[in-house]
Structure 1
Amino acid sequence: MTTQPERQSLTFYPPRYFDLSPTYHSWAKLTAAGVHALRKPPPGLGHSTYISSVMSHKPFFRLFYYLNHPIRFVRVVGTVVEIGAPTPLLVLFTLDDGSGATVEVKLERLRPDQLDKTGTHESNTVVPNVRVESGIGFLNVLVDGTVVDIGTVLRVQCSLDSYRQINQLELKQCSVIKSTADEIRNWVGTAKYMRDILQEPWVLSAKDQAKLDRRYSREQQAKRDKEIKENQRKTLRQRAKEEWYRVRDEKKKVLEEKLERRRQKEEVLMNRGALV
């Protein structure tokens, strides 16, 4: 595994440039050791809250860096060496891919109120093709109906998290590698990805930066224009509301004055009758 250079020598681009990153919108093919080489955003840059109008992801996912490559999603292929359930709603399994490190994968189970009552979907986890069966003394994780056991080779696609300063994976997609040929093919893909994309820092040309700056400027202007129009609509609605209340109050006042004049006339007539 390539050791990351000193962060001070790297250029960390603003989030508005991420759409041109080869890693930001993709499943970065990493080894377990590569996952642990990921670092959080450097001081001053903070977490990415940038959502492009062209490509957006909701909910927001945590951002990490390999060199200066922004990464939110990773793909790892490894052998299951441990499975456990520390809480009723969480399953953890550890993958070993021979890179000199293991990585922990978190699988979230659905709460009882989240389960599909119709029986249309058999999954009881956040991953559609993964099901957990558990009881006193047993815990089974099934991927596409195949029981995952110690020694099973999995391809996992995950978002990123950390626990006690150790990087972890949050499972989003999963499949079982059933042949040695498929395992080798995935390993070759990982090696090629790390060599061709991650080995060198991400470099943006001045031309690409200018292009994205123009697009970012347009997006910000469109956002400001939208806010201005929304404020104008709110102002018009408020003025219309105030005008409606003004007219209502005037009509109410006129009506009250009319009723008061009628009451006074009736009072005068009644008083006249009382004097006769």
Structure 2
Amino acid sequence: MPQASRAECPSRNIVNDLSGSDSDSDLDTDTSADLAFYPAYTFQASATWFRWVKLTAHDIHCVLEPHHKYAADITTSSLGPGLPDHRGSGGGGRDDAPLLLFYLNHPIQFVQVIGVVVVVEEYFEKFWLFTVDDGSGATIDVRCRKPEKEDAREQNDVVNSTKSDKQSGSTRIPSNAGKEIRHDMLNAISNKDRDGHNITTTSTSSSADKSKSTIAHAQPQPQSQLDTADTDELTEDQILHKTVQALQIGTVVQAKGTISTFRSTRQLTLLRLTIVPDTTHEMALISSRTSFMKLTLCKPWVLSAADQKRLYREAQDDRQQGNRQAAKRRERRLKMEEREKRHARSIREQYEAEERQRAKAAEAARRAGVALQDDATTQ
């Protein structure tokens, strides 16, 4: 696997060069020790928590840092069934688990990178791997897991059935529609990420036409295998996989995902991918990244005591509600188990009564047969 180039990591004062701030407002690295790191239940009030944070590869490698305070805490319950939990800087003991990192004291779980694809690895069996260079002095590897063989066959079946359904005029509902729970959560994050540029909208199932247009514009080659008539009924993962397969060296992409590690090197686990169609959109994204860096990331996150108390009460209420719901689930499970036991006991008693009746009937038939034989012998 190609390793991302890791330049010498300067102090956080590099953000001042990006933001264009004066020397009087420079954030000295000595002040990082005075930053307030709030409890995990307050992360939802951060401007970076439920957002695709625009960062450079250099920021991901050198500026983002973990914090020992969250080494063992589960910091979020919002990821849904399709994503693993964030467990501090160690990733819950998994090398490829998403990391909880901080820019100053801003908690970050989802990031996006805008850059040029410079390496495409097509020889791995279980995942795609490509490298993005955004001109920040470092590159980052982007990893996307390939679908399992059954999912791949199902995906081909969806494409084939879509073609046949369009010819016959019928419609088809995807069999893996249950995965929309995770996609709805990610789409909500995308909707929350408002920066005034339509290009930041991720390639969702509701915006499949937009993804198709950008892909067709950026990759007109036949090998892209992205027919506008075939992607209408594809699921989110299938659109993502087809977009990754269409990548070529030199393609400008907007990659969104979570940060993980491989051999102590940070990489991006892909969740969304958009091909940037032209330089205008690319410059708009870069301008938005610089603006967000200047207005939000370069300033420490400050949360008032009143907001902390309010969030604490909300967290306590959510925990109590969760406990009540868990108690109700346990009660329903116990009632179901009791009902099943009662039904099983009733069925067993009924079976035993039927067995006794059959035994009595068999005994009566045997005696009648014996009596009939006795009558025949006497005659």
Question: Counterparts in 2 of 1:1-276, with a 5 A limit?
Answer: 1=14, 5=32, 10-13=37-40, 18-36=43-61, 37-39=63-65, 42=68, 45-46=71-72, 48=74, 51-52=77-78, 57-61=80-84, 62-67=98-103, 69-87=106-124, 90-108=127-145, 113=153, 115-116=155-156, 117-118=159-160, 122-123=225-226, 127=240, 130=243, 132=245, 141-142=246-247, 148-150=248-250, 152-171=251-270, 172-176=272-276, 178-179=278-279, 181-199=280-298, 200-201=300-301, 203=303, 205-268=308-371, 270-271=373-374, 273-274=376-377
Paired residue secondary structure (1:127)? helix
Distance verdict in 2 for CA 1:275–1:114, change over 3 Å: closer
1:213 CA displacement: 1.7
Paired residue secondary structure (2:337)? helix
1:47 CA displacement: 7.2
Cα distance in 1 for residues equivalent to 2:71 and 2:244: 39
Distance verdict in 2 for CA 1:115–1:75, change over 3 Å: same
The one-letter code sitting in structure 2 at the alignment partner of 1:223 is A
Paired residues of 2:114 and 2:255 also in contact (CA < 8 A): yes
Cα distance in 2 for residues equivalent to 1:66 and 1:34: 11
Distance verdict in 2 for CA 1:100–1:244, change over 3 Å: same
Cα distance in 2 for residues equivalent to 1:244 and 1:6: 69
Cα distance in 1 for residues equivalent to 2:137 and 2:32: 20
Paired residues of 1:108 and 1:126 also in contact (CA < 8 A): no
Kindly indicate which of the two structures has a greater share of residues assigned to strand.
Answer: 1
Distance verdict in 2 for CA 1:85–1:39, change over 3 Å: farther
Paired residue secondary structure (2:122)? strand
Paired residue secondary structure (2:240)? coil
Larger Rg: 1
1:227 CA displacement: 2.6
**RMSD, aligned CA:** 3.7
Which deviations, in whole Å up to 9, do the C-alpha atoms of 1:190-238 show, x marking residues without a partner? 2233344434247461112211220231123112202311221122022
The one-letter code sitting in structure 2 at the alignment partner of 1:127 is L
1:97 CA displacement: 2.5
| Percent pairwise identity | 20
1:40 CA displacement: 5.7
Distance verdict in 2 for CA 1:39–1:114, change over 3 Å: farther
Paired residue secondary structure (1:205)? helix
1:255 CA displacement: 2.7
Paired residue secondary structure (2:345)? helix
Cα distance in 1 for residues equivalent to 2:240 and 2:372: 85
The one-letter code sitting in structure 2 at the alignment partner of 1:23 is T
1:92 CA displacement: 3.2
Paired residues of 2:143 and 2:268 also in contact (CA < 8 A): yes
Paired residues of 2:132 and 2:140 also in contact (CA < 8 A): yes
Which deviations, in whole Å up to 9, do the C-alpha atoms of 1:3-26 show, x marking residues without a partner? 794699634415xx5544433332
TM-score (norm 1): 0.73
Which deviations, in whole Å up to 9, do the C-alpha atoms of 1:73-130 show, x marking residues without a partner? 2111123343443436644332232333221223455566355252859359761662
Cα distance in 2 for residues equivalent to 1:94 and 1:109: 17
Equivalent position of 1:137 in the other structure: none
Cα distance in 1 for residues equivalent to 2:350 and 2:67: 58
Q: Bigger CA drift: 70-79 or 227-236?
A: 70-79
TM-score (norm 2): 0.56
The one-letter code sitting in structure 2 at the alignment partner of 1:182 is H
The one-letter code sitting in structure 2 at the alignment partner of 1:239 is R
Paired residue secondary structure (2:281)? helix
Paired residue secondary structure (1:87)? coil
Equivalent position of 1:145 in the other structure: none
